[in-house]
Every structure is written in structure tokens, then in C-alpha cells.
Structure 1
Amino acid sequence: MNFMVLIFSFLTTTIIILGSLINVIENKLPPFFIKIFKYGKFAYEGEVSKIASKFVVEVPKSWFKHFYLLALLIYAYIFYLVTYCYIYKYDAPGWFINFLRVICGENRIPYTSATKTYIAVVLMTLQVIRRFYDTHFVSVFGKNSRMNLSQYLIGLVHYPACALAIVCEAPKFTTESLSTTSTTFDIASITYVNIFAILLFIWAWWHQHTTTKILANLRRNKKSNQIETILLSHWWYQKTFDKFPKNRKALIPFMY
């Protein structure tokens, strides 16, 4: 059984269903569901029944830092492993292969090359390093800002699961091998598509950091890139500020 497929399928399905329900019929949903999904300035501000409140466990939003501390440790080791295997041409440790057997299942074959795997790990490691820096040294978390425990647990699982998902079907990390699959990093095999993807990542990587600094400075002066966050922010501004333009679009100019 491939637990990586189960984890990401469950998370994706849950986010799509809950997000869609909140976007369309939020006023008809039990506060319990809203409180699970929304936090920060989007958090539900109404009353929750005593029974439901027992299941709504919240933690400080500043615990975001824990996601990237854990991720930094894991990606440092994964980066070491792929460098050890693809650059220095050694085999992956037996214990790690056995661990992947448990997490990702048996009879796995490589679906990508060593070069693409190495690029993915390097980029994700850079992302984790920067997010660790942002959350520990740039972001300013509100003292009373909280998030649901379920969101915290999902955050702890997300980055480690991404790391395992990258290598579980990569050369030298599978239970079976293909003679046509490259098992070492080859810079000559990097395509223009790969280069474009790397440059696009770096552009987004830097702009996310810039946005984090801007938001942190606004909070200090008392003054996500994700569709759901864009929509929630847009609706929050419409609800909070009477003079916010009613015809302003959130996602697609002049349309939506």
C-alpha cells in the first residue's frame, strides 16, 4: 500500500470539499466546520456549541515555525542522500529502502530520472530553508492569532510527505530498476523545459519572500499565492471595509 498516495489524496479531497462548501454555502454550515478550516483574520468569530468546542482544539499560529524546523531537518537528510547517490554514485542505505517499502509500498519502479529528482530535491530544500528563515526571522504572528489543531498536524505532515513522495519512485530508491533510467546526475540532460521551471521557481521563491517581508512590515507598523487565500482575503476586505470597490475582481481581471 502506498501511503503517500493515500495521504495526498485525502488532503486534496478534504481541502477541495471543505473549501468549496465554505465558498458557496458558508452561512449554512455548522460553525464547527468553519472554525476547522479558517484561521487568522478569516477565523470564525461567532459562538460554538459546548459540545463542538470540545473538538475544536486550537494552537498558536506562530507554531507555523514547527513545520519548517521539522522540514529543514528532513530535507537536509534527503538532500544528503540524493547527493550521495546521484553525485557520488553510491547506493541508498538499506534501512531507508526498507522504510520506503513500508511507506510507499512494494514493487516500485523509477518514473523519473536521477537528474530531475535531484533538481526537485534541491528546489524543495531551498524552499524549506527560506520558509524556515521567513517564519523564524521575518514573519510577525499576532499574539492572539490561532489555528485549528488539524491544520497544524497537516502542516507537520505535508513537507516530510513531499520529500518522501519525490524519492519513493526515483532511481536507486525503488525496489526495482529499469535499464533505461539514468541513476546519476547528468547536467547535459537538463532540458529547456527544466531550465524554465527552475527559473519560474526562483522567481516565485523570491517574490514569496518579498511578500512575507511586506506583510511583516505592515504588521510591525500596526498597519499566499493560493487561490483559496486570495478569495478569502478578497471577501474579508469586502465584508470589513464599506468603501472597498464592489466591482473589484479577486482572481481573474474583469471576470472573477
Structure 2
Amino acid sequence: MHRKNGHKYGGAVRRGKAAMLRAWMSKILDVLDMAAPSLLLRLFYVSAASGPLRERFIDYGSREAAPAPKAENGYEAQRKRIGGTAGALLDSVAAVRVPHAWFNHFYVLSLLVSCFWASQILSDGSFFEWLATREVVARSASMSLDQAMLAWAMMTFQAGRRLYECLDNHKPSASKMWVGHWAAGLAFYAAMGVAVWIEASLRSLHIDPPSLRTFVGLPIFVLASGIQHDVHDHLASMKKYSLPKHPMFATCICPHYLAECFIYLSLAIVAAPQGHILNWTIVSGLMFVGINLGVTAKGTRLWYARKFNDERIMLKACMIPGIF
């Protein structure tokens, strides 16, 4: 009798938990259905940037050749926090690598996405219609058409320049990166192709004269792009596994990463909706870029210090002089 009652009680508990889970899932889906696309983009970037397993997977190429001691990189401590079995599983996943040359795919995809959305906007295509309708209903502030066009052009130029640099500076290499890093990069560029225009007033198209944000953001973009291009050319001209001599490396290990962050900051300034200093959808993408590049820059500094046995390297900033 007691056993039967126990089974009934246990079954009721399980059914109650299942009903609660279904109710929560229904609420989440309702919220997502009502959310603006820009909000969903922000959630994607922030959640991707805050992933706790980033340091396990982010290193690639030469930095893998000289792994840090366990006591220095915290790898074993992280493994213990996750758990032995789970840690071993994650190690297996982290072992899946793709050629580092697949970085080209990021910029090819970004250009294709830019062209696709340009054609959708110009032809009032069904995908554009669906996204624009959801966004307009869900928000109040917006950017003007000229802002959206400029932000789109800047993002397209950035992708085109980086693809040109990758092809022009290509050297045969056996370096690899984690397949998840590659997939995350593709997702980032696909989402950024939408983020640069989604907050525009595409339902009431109007063109405003250039604003202060344009005169601030565009020069930052041009300067950061020029610096990054110059640094990439210098790195491509170096003898393999040697120390950079470019002046931008005097106080910073990865100035090209800092330039990348300024490029997305300039986009956030140019595409800021009315009444806002920054476009927070693009800022959330900047968080993704900054955090992931910061982890890579930290690993690069450690690799340089060990490779060249020079403690002075550790006195330089990883990415942001005087800060990090």
C-alpha cells in the first residue's frame, strides 16, 4: 500500500515538474516572439562573449606549440571545476580542428550577407519585410536611412579589406583553430550583417544631413582600418616566429586587435539611434570581439615570452596600453 502511494506521489511530482518546465518554455518562447530582432542579436552576442569555456578553445596556431604550465594557465583548475568526465569530453571536442586559413570564410560570408541584405532592402524582399516589421513594432528609437547606409558600407568595406589581406598575405601553414571558434566567427559576421541596419527607420525612409556622430565615427574607422592594415602587412612580412618591429608593437602585443575593437566602436557611433550615444546592438558585438581577442592576446603575450625567453615582453600590454 505504501509502495503504491509512493509511486503515485513520485509520478505526481514528475508530472508537476514537467508541467512547470513546459510553462517556463512557453513563457520564454512568448518573450522571444515579442522581442525585437535587435534585442535577440544583443542576447546572442552577450551570451557568446560570456561563455565560461572560452579559454579552453580559443588558442590556435603557434600558441598551441608551447602550452602554459598547468599552474600558470589555470587549465587544470578549470577542468576540476567542470568535472573529470565532462572535462575529458570537452578536451575531445576541443581537439576538433580546422585549417587556420578558414578565417577567409568569415569575410566571404560577411560580404555575401551584406549583398543579400542590400538586395532585400532595395527590393523590399520578404526576409527584410519580416525583420523590419518585427523591429519597428518592438522599439521606439531608430537611426536614419543615411546612417544605415553608411554603417552598411563601413561593414562591407571592413569585410572586403580583411578578405583582400588574407588572400594577399596568404602563406602555406599547418596551423589550426578549433571548429567551434570557426563556427562562432561565422555566426558573428552573419549577425553583424543584420546589426548594422536593423535599428534604422526603414518604415519611414528619410535621409538626414551628416551628424556629429558621423564626423566622430568615420575618422575613427578610417584611422583604425589604416593602422590594422599596416600592422597586418608588417606581420605578413616577418620571418616566421620572430618578434614584430613595427612601432605599434612598442607598448602593446596585439595592436591589430585593439584596432579591430575601434572599428566596431566607430560603427556603434555612426549607427547610434536618435537620442543615443551608441548603437547598443553593435556594442554587444564589440563585447564579443573584445573579450575573445583579449583572451587570444593574453595567450600571444605568454607565447612570445616563452618562445624568446624575454621577461620584458610581459611588461607590455596585451591589447590596451596601460590597461590590459
Q: Give the TM-score of the pair, scaled to structure 2.
A: 0.58
> Cα 1:192–1:137, aligned 2, differ >3 Å: closer, same or farther?
same
Give the aligned residue type for 1:71.
Answer: S
- Whole-Å Cα distance in 1 between the matches of residues 110 and 130 of structure 2? 18
Amino acid in the other structure paired with 1:5: L
Structure 1 spans left out of the alignment, 5+ residues: 19-31, 85-91, 178-182
Q: Distance in 2 between matches of 1:17 and 1:53?
A: 16
The 1:59–1:252 alpha-carbon spacing in structure 2 relative to 1, beyond 3 Å, is closer
Matching of residues 158-197 of structure 1 within 5 Å: 158-172=188-202, 183-186=205-208, 189-197=209-217
> Closer, same or farther in 2 for the Cα pair 1:93/1:100, shift >3 Å?
same
* CA pair 93-134 structure 1, distance change in 2 beyond 3 A: same
2:222 counterpart (194, 198, 202): 202
The amino acid of 2:93's aligned partner reads F
SS at match of 1:107: helix
Would you say the 8 A contact 1:66–1:156 is kept in 2?
A: yes
CA change 1:7–1:61 in 2 (3 A) is: farther
SS at match of 1:245: helix
TM-score (norm: length of structure 1) = 0.71
Computing the radius of gyration from Cα coordinates, the structure with the larger value is: 2
1:25 is matched with which residue?
none
Taking the aligned partners of 1:254 and 1:211, their CA distance within structure 2 comes to 20
Partner of 1:100: 131
Query: How many corresponding residue pairs?
Result: 222
Cα separation, 1, equivalents of 2:206 and 2:323: 47
Q: Find out whether 1:214 has 2:234 as its counterpart.
A: yes
How far did residue 238 of structure 1 move? 2.4
Q: Identify the residue that residue 184 of structure 2 maps to in structure 1.
A: 154
| 8 Å contact kept, 2:304–2:313 | no
Which residue of the other structure, out of 31, 43, 52, is the alignment partner of 2:64?
A: 43
Greater share of helix residues, 1 or 2? 2
User: What is the 5 A alignment of 1:2-13?
Assistant: 2=36, 5-13=39-47
Residue aligned with 1:112, SS: coil
CA deviation vs aligned residue, 1:175-232 (integer Å, no higher than 9, x gap): xx5xxxxx2334xx2123311210110111111111111111115x664224434333
The alpha-carbon deviation at position 15 of structure 1 amounts to: 3.0
1:139–1:212: 8 Å Cα contact kept in structure 2? no
Q: For 1:207 and 1:140, how far apart are their aligned partners in 2?
A: 21
Over the matched positions of the two proteins, sequence identity in percent amounts to 23
Q: Tell me which amino acid in the other structure corresponds to 2:147.
A: K
Aligned to 1:66: 105
**Counterpart contact for 2:61–2:176, Cα < 8 Å:** yes
SS in 2 for 1:55: helix
Q: What amino acid maps onto 2:101 in structure 1?
A: S
List alignment gaps of at least 5 residues for structure 2. 1-31, 68-74, 80-86, 243-256, 259-292
Provide the C-alpha distance between the structure 1 equivalents of 2:186 and 2:176, rounded to a whole number of angstroms: 16
| Structure 2 contact 38–135 (Cα < 8 Å) conserved | no
CA RMSD, aligned part only?
3.3
C-alpha contact (below 8 Å) 1:35/1:44 kept by paired residues: no
2:115 aligned with 1:76: yes
In 2, Cα distance between equivalents of 1:229 and 1:167: 29
Indicate if the aligned counterparts of 2:59 and 2:299 stay in contact, CA closer than 8 A: no
- Once the 2 structures are TM-superposed, how far is the Cα of residue 70 of structure 1 from its aligned partner? 1.4
For 1:168, what is the secondary structure of its paired residue? coil
CA distance in 1, matches of 2:40, 2:93: 24
Q: Distance in 2 between matches of 1:242 and 1:163?
A: 42
- The 5 Å alignment of 1:227-238 reads 227-238=294-305
Q: Does 1:249 align with 2:316?
A: yes
Distance 2:46 2:194 in 1: 17
Segment of structure 1 superposing worse, 232-241 or 111-120: 232-241
Establish whether residue 134 from structure 1 lines up as the match of residue 165 from structure 2. Answer: yes
Deviation at 1:105, TM superposition (A): 5.9
Q: C-alpha displacement at 1:149, in angstroms?
A: 1.1
Assess if the C-alpha contact under 8 Å between 2:58 and 2:296 holds in 1: no
Give a deviation string over 1:47-94, Cα, whole Å, max 9, x none: 998744542321111101111111111213334556x4xxxxxxx514
Counterpart for residue 180 of structure 1: none
Q: Cα 1:73–1:200, aligned 2, differ >3 Å: closer, same or farther? A: same
> What is the 5 A alignment of 1:108-119?
108-109=138-139, 111-119=142-150
